[in-house]
Amino acid sequence: MRHTSFLSFMVALLTISCSGNSEATNETETTSDSLSLILEGDSTVYGLACDGCTDTILVFLPLNDVAADPDTFNILNATRNRHVFGRPEIGDNIAVVRNSKDSTVADYVINIKVLRNTWCYNIMPSLHMRADMEGRTEKQKIENLPDSIKEMLNTPREYSMQIKEDNVVRLRPINRESFKDHEAVDYPKVKHYGQWHIYNGKLLLTEVAMDTLGNMRVANTDTCELVLLEKDSLVLKFFTTDESNGTKESSIHSYYTKKTEE
């Protein structure tokens, strides 16, 4: 594997160019060979799950030396601490964070094959505040609204976050044709993540934006703690910092998969 620092990783992202009309498609996609990157300070190793895996033992073939004999990790504490995300099955691509004191112990086990999926989520609108609404309670504001607006307030927009190979993330609205903005409601801004990476058991989601020259640049990187990872469910805990006072806040985001219609 090729080693590089976190700074080099960010610099590489800055060189990514955007092709196509993103304003028309409302999608973000970047490409990189960052699967081969190891961020500075990251102790994650990658490999394949082998026959013999249990709730206490992970049999693991390192990807950087597939000719070697499989390693065996003790994952008893990781299982007890709910740090095994996505049950390993034979042949699955697995990320392992080794214990700093005992290299035969895995603190985190993440099934990359399960993580690479199309994860759906909903965002809810809020009432657009007008000057004539000042001084009214939330109930009073809603009571005087037309039924069509009340219905819009209870109708979520569905998006998907596709976590792909090569550490690429694609975001897109589902059923884009039904997305008609209305001056009476506001939808929260959707972050356009372009890349993902595992870093010491956490998931990094890198937000990208287009500059005046039409190139993609790194805008921000969110750190997420994996709470749950199953074949049809993903729960992430996001950590953010309030720039006004420096306090750290966290929020839980849940995702789900949808069966593809044949």
Q: Which domains does the chain show, CATH number per domain?
A: 118-256 (2.40.128)
Whether residue 260 is predicted with pLDDT greater than 90 in this model: the reply is no
Give the residue-averaged pLDDT of 38-63: 91
pLDDT of res. 68: 83
Query: How far apart are the C-alpha atoms of 161 and 228, rounded to whole Å?
Result: 16
Beta strand ranges found along 71-184 (DSSP E): 71-74, 84-85, 93-98, 106-111, 118-123, 126-127, 157-163, 169-173
Strand, helix or coil for residue 6? helix
pLDDT of res. 130: 56
pLDDT of res. 98: 94
What is the tens place of the pLDDT at every residue in 117-161?
Answer: 999 999 888 776 555 555 555 555 566 666 667 777 778 888 999
Whether residue 97 is predicted with pLDDT greater than 60 in this model: the reply is yes
What is the tens place of the pLDDT at every residue in 194-212?
Answer: 999 999 999 999 988 778 8
**25: DSSP letter:** H
pLDDT confidence of 23, banded at 50, 70, 90? very low
Whether residue 72 is predicted with pLDDT greater than 80 in this model: the reply is yes
**51: DSSP letter:** T
- Of 258, 208, 212, 215, which Cα lies nearest the Cα of 233? 258
- How crowded is residue 229: how many other Cβ atoms within 10 Å of its Cβ? 20
What does residue 224 show for φ and ψ, rounded to 5 degrees? -120, 140
In degrees, to the nearest 5, what angle opens at C-alpha 225 toward C-alphas 110 and 61? 15
